[in-house]
Amino acid sequence: MSQDESPTVPNTDVAIIRVTVQRLRDFQLSIDAPRTRLEAFQGITSWLRSLASTRRNAGSGPPEMDQALRILLRLRYTCRFADIRNAADNFLAAQRNSGIAVAARYIDTEVSRFCKNPHLVTVPAVDWSLFDSSSAARITHIEWALSTVPRFYVNYARTMDILMFQEGGLQLHWRHFIAMMAASRHNCEYLVRNQMELFLASGGDVAWLTDPTTIPTQLRALHDVNLILCHKPWDLKQRHMEDLLQVWSKADLVVALAILSTFHTLPVVAFGLGLEVEPDLRLEPDEVFFDDPPYDPDDEGMPR
């Protein structure tokens, strides 16, 4: 190998890391018994530990390795289970000592950007008991922030569980895609990235994120109403509902509109609280943000 060439990571190792990343993603979106949970986590980190030398020898590793470390960073402070938080922290500390570093911009991730100014705001410690009935092993920054007002958080969590996660009616990945449609109108990266994670985890087609022609007709039909709800909700007319009922059932349309309305409201919460995107969901320079460009009255006419 010439001096100008960089060592490459074997394809087999890349494949293993990709599987490991997926296992980590599945892990943080599920719940398991304590012993099984810790054993599963230790099994995942053992793969990463054995592959860490590949990264050191190559000088840099595949992006999947960074992604795995970023998920561990998230679990270190947002996992509901203390044993996993401690295990993730110990693993990351050991890797730093052996030369495996994570970019400082991920390590320094705060729940809110306002936390970077201690004179402005401090985020209270989490009351983990509020999340005992959560459907995921980790909490999100918005859940963390809202849990500082426990009575409000309990109602918020119950509403989101019914609207976004309970079986019946719309498929789960459709619900998360509709939420992305609404949040993207506000250019709210925080909510879009969180809903994108759930969209993909619930079986969503990644092609929908880059190729509008692959999106089902029913979802595309929501575009005009989504635009109106975001910018001029008072212009919503009966005819808009009649048009949607040509491709939607009444029951499913009610759910879709409830999701749109909810996620046209939540960006105000995300922006107002200064929520930071979780470290494993942060955009990389070459990544595309699922973006429905903001309405520009000079370039785009409102639906009538």
Whether residues 22 and 148 share a domain: the answer is no
147-161 per-position pLDDT tens digit: 999 999 999 999 999
Computed from CA positions of residues 219, 224, 229, 231, in that sequence, does the dihedral angle turn out positive or negative? positive
Alpha helix ranges (H) inside the chain: 11-28, 34-58, 63-78, 82-97, 104-107, 141-146, 150-160, 172-185, 189-201, 217-220, 223-231, 238-244, 250-273
pTM: predicted TM-score of the whole model, two decimal places: 0.82
Please indicate, yes or no, if residue 300 is contained in any of the structural domains.
Answer: no
Whether residues 196 and 125 share a domain: the answer is yes
What is the pLDDT of the chain when averaged over all its residues?
80
Whether residues 122 and 265 share a domain: the answer is yes
Please indicate, yes or no, if residue 196 is contained in any of the structural domains.
Answer: yes
| Phi–psi pair at 138, nearest 5 degrees | -125, 160
Q: Look up the domain containing 237 and give its range.
A: 118-273
Q: How large is the average pLDDT for residues 88-93?
A: 84
Whether residues 261 and 156 share a domain: the answer is yes
pLDDT surpassing 60 at residue 7: no
Please indicate, yes or no, if residue 32 is contained in any of the structural domains.
Answer: yes
Whether residues 70 and 150 share a domain: the answer is no
**Pair 102, 67: CB distance under 8 Å:** no
The region of weakest confidence among 121-125, 189-193, 289-293 is 289-293
Q: Which two tokens stand for residue 180?
A: 């992305």
Catalytic: 115? no
220-255 per-position pLDDT tens digit: 999 999 999 999 999 999 999 999 999 999 999 999
Whether residues 92 and 136 share a domain: the answer is no
Domain count along the chain: 2
Whether residues 89 and 127 share a domain: the answer is no
Please indicate, yes or no, if residue 1 is contained in any of the structural domains.
Answer: no
Q: What residues contact 157, with CB distance under 8 A and at least 6 apart?
A: 130, 134, 143
